[in-house]
Amino acid sequence: MRVVYYCKKTIKALTPPLFFLGLTAYFGWNTLNGEHGFHSYKIQQNVLIEAQNAQKDAQLEQQAWARRVEGLKNNVDKDLLDERTRVMLSFAQSDEIIIPYKANDHLY
């Protein structure tokens, strides 16, 4: 009878500390490994750095293309541009004579 009494008393005494210890362990684990924990934060920081690098690369490429387009605005020979456009897009007017080339014979 006394054994049962001591068991109940021990269980009542250990229940709150074990509950709070478990709660602390749960929050501690989620702080490190959870969806918004430190490990996820590090991963998101790496993704952010990669995205910023990709944005810089895209901006540099855009600037390079803008320089190329700006260079074309003033110094374009209209006949050469027309000829090149027709070759690249396979366009022809109705009064033009078309001479087909073989598959590996290209003008350019």
Angle, vertex CA 51, rays to CA 46 and CA 54, nearest 5 = 130
Determine the pLDDT at residue 53: 98
pTM of the predicted structure, to 2 decimals: 0.50
Tell me the C-alpha distance between 52 and 45, whole Å: 11
Sign of the CA dihedral with 85 first, then 87, 88, and 91 last: positive
Question: In this predicted model, what pLDDT tens digit does every residue of 77-86 receive, in sequence order?
Answer: 788 888 888 8
Q: Residue 108 pLDDT > 70, yes or no?
A: no
